[in-house]
Structure 1
Amino acid sequence: MRWTLKPKPDPEIVEHLQDVLGVEKAIASLLAQRNITSFEEAKKFFRPDLADLHDPYLMKDMDLAVARIELALQKGENIMVYGDYDVDGTTSVALVSSYLKKIYPNVATYIPDRYDEGYGVSYKGIDFAADNDISLIIALDCGIKAIEKVAYASKKGVDFIICDHHRPGAGIPDAVAVLDPKRADCNYPYKELCGCGVGFKLLQALNQKRGESFDLLIPYLDLVATAIGADIVPVTGENRILAFHGLQMINAAPRAGFSAILKQVKKDYLTLTDVVFIIAPRINAAGRMKHGLHAVNLLTEEHAEQAEIYAAEIEEYNKDRRDKDKTITEEALAQIEELNEQERLTTVVYRETWHKGVIGIVASRLTETYYRPTLVFTRSGEKLAASARSVQGFDVYDALEGCSEFIEQFGGHKYAAGLTLLSEQYENFKSKFEEVVSATIDRKLLMPEISIDAQINLEEITPRFFRVLKQFAPFGPGNMSPVFMTTNLKDSGYAKCVGGDGKHLKARLYQKKNGRSIDAIGFDLGPKCDLLAEGKRVKAAFCIEENEYRGNVSLQLKLKDIEIN
């Protein structure tokens, strides 16, 4: 692990925040690192307010999108809400379709089949619309590169409104409206919305035009929060406001589908991290193993009994997904060893029988193991399809652009992307990808980094300190759970390996200078148990969390790493 301590913020700002907020220096420093410099900014951070959401009409083409929907409603046209099969896509379809169905009857939903149609807007989906007298498609979380498909739809008398958040290509589709804050010609103040977030801005604009209260939209924020967590977009600015209030909805008044999932996993209160690891994988499992419409059905179902039936089906898909994920990961790791490719700067593996629905998860697992840009390929019809994952700080999307001569189609983000290519181009692509990454990656990025917010002493970790720290949530990219470092620690004599095969480390760490000790748990740090058992002085990188045991709640350190001091 590569430990890096973030630069100390301006001491004058830290001192000012201490004075106006009445908080400890460590808290003030954390705020300053997040570019919070005043009482007013701190108030907006700790109390995210829906009134601070941007005017949706600041987004380019928003007026055109709303006008086209209003025209469709007036003329009695059939509307199709179309979205990708992942969490962002399915929550987007659930969001927009359920709102529209409350005010208008002629609304259909469509999710492309992962195996038959692939990612994004499909010709099959357009043909379905044309054959069923659907004259308007609202595409969510996809469409920004669908230039030919939008032109094809236009010839068939089908209009498009595109709501996307991916990077545009060289041109923009000739749709009625293209809503994407990442458009070069879009001056929308916040660029990091997810697809569901863009869909929500469309509803906000439509709702506003209809003269309805914003309160009508609040019950839909649970879907937006789920997409923000699952799509790993920054939890800053507008996303923080939407996620904060969406989590309140999930915990105070969860929709029937969420309640059905939570009943199965016996969880009462959800953080954004819980949404990512409990709700999102189950929603994703439908599109991975069966069809994304199963997820939309669960998310839009209003009756508890039916929602529980849907949730039970999706739980089966999720178990199947976990089994395939485990098997394919083992096969991929074996392939890397067989080919003796451990010394490469990239990981590229392929087997034509691997399940297309889990190759993205496998790519993430391989990235965790070897910590380098990774692609996992499988056969998809006549072509090969791959999921790409990257390491912190390296833009895999840019790297794929450097290999575009061998790629049929690709899209995605800085850290996750998908592509297709012809099977005869696989070896050429594999060589080129290694060449591009080797030429552009900073070698230090190939070692996992622990980014440390601040150095503190154990005596500073008090219940009051933790109460303020909890208010930094929801956590995610751009606002990660603070990581602290403390030096000159020793074990109090309790260090031991726990869990299967002694994988994890449990200890009570002691700092002599202030006589304070605190419990600590380190997942996957079992091999470092000897450092503490031998009485060595260590430094620790950790987050702070609450631990509940037999009704007693105490603070403990969740260790990221320990090293000799």
Structure 2
Amino acid sequence: GYKVLVSLDFGTTNLAELELARSYKMKTVVIDHHYVGEIENNADIFINPWDDESVFGGGRLCTSGLTYIILDSYKPLRQRQAAFPSDELLALATLGTICDVVPLEGLNRCLAKKGLLALAQSKSPGIRALREICDIEDVLSYDVAFRIGPAINAAGRMKTGDLAFKLLTATNSEMAYKIAGQLIDLNEERKSEVLRILETAETTVFKKDELPDGIVVWAEEFSIGVVGIVAQRLVERFRKPAAVFGKTLDGAFGGSLRTVEGVSIINILNELRPILIRGGGHAMAGGCLVRPEDMEEFARAFDAKCKEKIGTKIFEPAFDADLEIRLDDISVELVQGLRALEPFGAANPVPRFLLRNLKIGDIKRLRDEHLFLTVSNGELVYPAVLWRLRNHEHIQIGDTVDTTCTPYINKQGKVQLSVEGIRKKT
């Protein structure tokens, strides 16, 4: 039988499962980056950047980064990994580092900076197939976070993670292209499922007498694979911590939790542990299992804990910028110059500019997911997108607005504005 159990990206709080493995005389290895707290993990080898004894202090590295460093540093393993040279491992580590939204500072930034180049030069049939289907030339952090990453993750969210594994370990282009195509299709299904659940969740919230400080929505038919995305959308929509649950195969409700800056999910889960079957995570996100008969109690307790921690704070949509510029300052050259600051992500956000006194010339839905509009200073007209926002009740055609935004180059090679904040002039 098996002699070693290796747990990646979970295991920090799975003490019962680890003890079961030990009862079968198995050695256990846990490589994880989720919050440790007061837990004394019982694995034979426990590697977690939150652990006080870890050389990777500060809780910065994600599991992909940790695994890369271990594989690249341990010579006996390096000699046995001819199928995955160091640069290919770095490319995979970068996918995880950017998609897991860890702070791109220090070692993470070094990994991501070099890893984006490794992705662009990767000989992996799977990565090359995804890049070609998605029409990606130079690989930027945006491409990883919003194109390559979601396609790979769609396998586990909508079907089975085996499909992503087969793509990344494919040895010939024909098979890689076939699997990559399937992942792109699954990602489109994922988007539709997110919209369906989001509409139900928003309707549930709007039916409440008042907006709770901690939003909790659950239904048996909610797909477990996408509840985390829906929770994040609810946070963006209502500026409150949110938990979304679907029914698991064993009958419990499995939830994903997301939050606003300053309200720690892992602290709340630790305080609610008597209600949970189990739970874990970190400051900004977490997951838990709750018995069906305890969901109402969990919803009340989660709201109460959020209310206690939020107090009188009001979380308004951000309207800050790095620099005020004019519309005629924007150009392809400006966008290309900003790439010198890559990689962008957590702790190193893409530069944001303030543009004043623009007139809205057009507003329409884009694929029923986003809001498309045009803005003008009277001479120049630029297209702009409010991502993941299907309507905006405070703006209309003809309004004069100030906006915070980031310029980028669209698929047609033209400059377009990604709008973060928009305010009507009064």
**TM-score normalised by the chain length of structure 2:** 0.87
**In the alignment, what sits opposite 1:358?**
226
Q: How far, CA to CA, are the matches of 2:331 and 2:192 in structure 1?
A: 42
Residue 278 of structure 1 corresponds to 147
Q: Distance in 1 between matches of 2:97 and 2:162?
A: 20
Q: Give the equivalent residue in structure 2 for 1:451.
A: 320
Counterpart residue number, 1:107: none
Aligned residue runs from structure 1 range 151-230, under 5 A = 151-188=19-56, 191-207=59-75, 216-230=85-99
- The answer on whether the counterparts of 1:496 and 1:529 sit within 8 Å (CA) in structure 2 is no
Partners of 2:311 and 2:354 in 1: CA distance: 25
Residue 422 of structure 2 aligns with which residue?
562
Q: Which amino acid aligns with 1:544?
A: P
- Give the AA of the match of 2:362: K
2:347 matches 1:497: no
The residue matched to 1:320 in structure 2 has which SS? helix
Matched, 1:327 2:196: yes
Residue number in structure 2 paired with 1:540: 403
Rounded Cα–Cα distance in structure 2 between residues aligned with 1:560 and 1:197: 30
Where 1:446 maps in the other structure, the secondary structure is coil
Q: Deviations over 1:350-404 (max 9, x none)?
A: 2122222222222223223322111112222232211111123322222222222
Q: How far apart are residue 349 of structure 1 and its match? A: 1.3
1:416 deviates by 1.6
Shift in CA distance, 182/451, structure 1 to aligned 2, threshold 3 Å: farther
**Structure 1 runs not aligned, ≥5 long:** 1-132, 511-515
CA separation in 2, counterparts of 1:284 and 1:409? 24
More helix by share: 1
**What is the distance in 2 between the residues matched to 1:548 and 1:349?**
37
Tell me which amino acid in the other structure corresponds to 1:363.
A
Q: Secondary structure at the match of 2:240?
A: coil
- Any residues of structure 2 matched to 1:300-379 within 5 Å, and which? 300-338=169-207, 340-379=208-247
The answer to whether the 8 Å contact 1:288/1:356 transfers is: yes
The alpha-carbon deviation at position 212 of structure 1 amounts to: 10
- For the pair shown, which has the larger CA radius of gyration, 1 or 2? 1
Aligned to 2:384: 521
SS at match of 1:172: coil
Aligned length: 418
Moved more, 285-294 or 224-233: 285-294
- Structure 1, residues 290-334: CA drift from partner, whole Å, max 9, x if none? 222221111111211122232233334334333332222222223
Looking at structure 1, the residues matched to 422 and 142 of structure 2 have their Cα atoms a distance apart, in angstroms, of: 24
Whose RCO is larger (CA < 8 A, sep 6+)? 1
- CA 1:250–1:240 in structure 2 vs 1: closer, same or farther (change >3 Å)? same
Contact 1:204 1:217 in 2 (8 A): yes
Residue of 342, 346, 358 corresponding to 1:477: 346
Partner residue of 1:32? none
Answer yes or no: is the 8 Å Cα contact 2:91–2:122 preserved in 1: no
- 1:435 is matched with 304
Shift of 1:445: 4.6
Matching of residue 266 in structure 1 with residue 127 in structure 2: no
**Separation in structure 2 between the aligned mates of residue 275 and residue 254 of structure 1, nearest angstrom:** 17
TM-score (norm 1): 0.67
- Alpha-carbon offset, residue 181 of structure 1: 1.3
Task: Report the 3-state secondary structure (helix = DSSP H, G, I; strand = E; otherwise coil) of the residue aligned with 1:253.
Answer: coil
Residue of structure 2 equivalent to 1:111:
none
Identity %: 25
Give the whole-Å Cα distance in 1 for the aligned partners of 2:57 and 2:273. 31
* Alignment check: 8 A CA contact 2:317 2:421 kept: no
Structure 1 SS opposite 2:40 = coil
Alpha carbons of structure 1 residues 210 and 265: separation in structure 2 relative to 1, 3 Å: closer
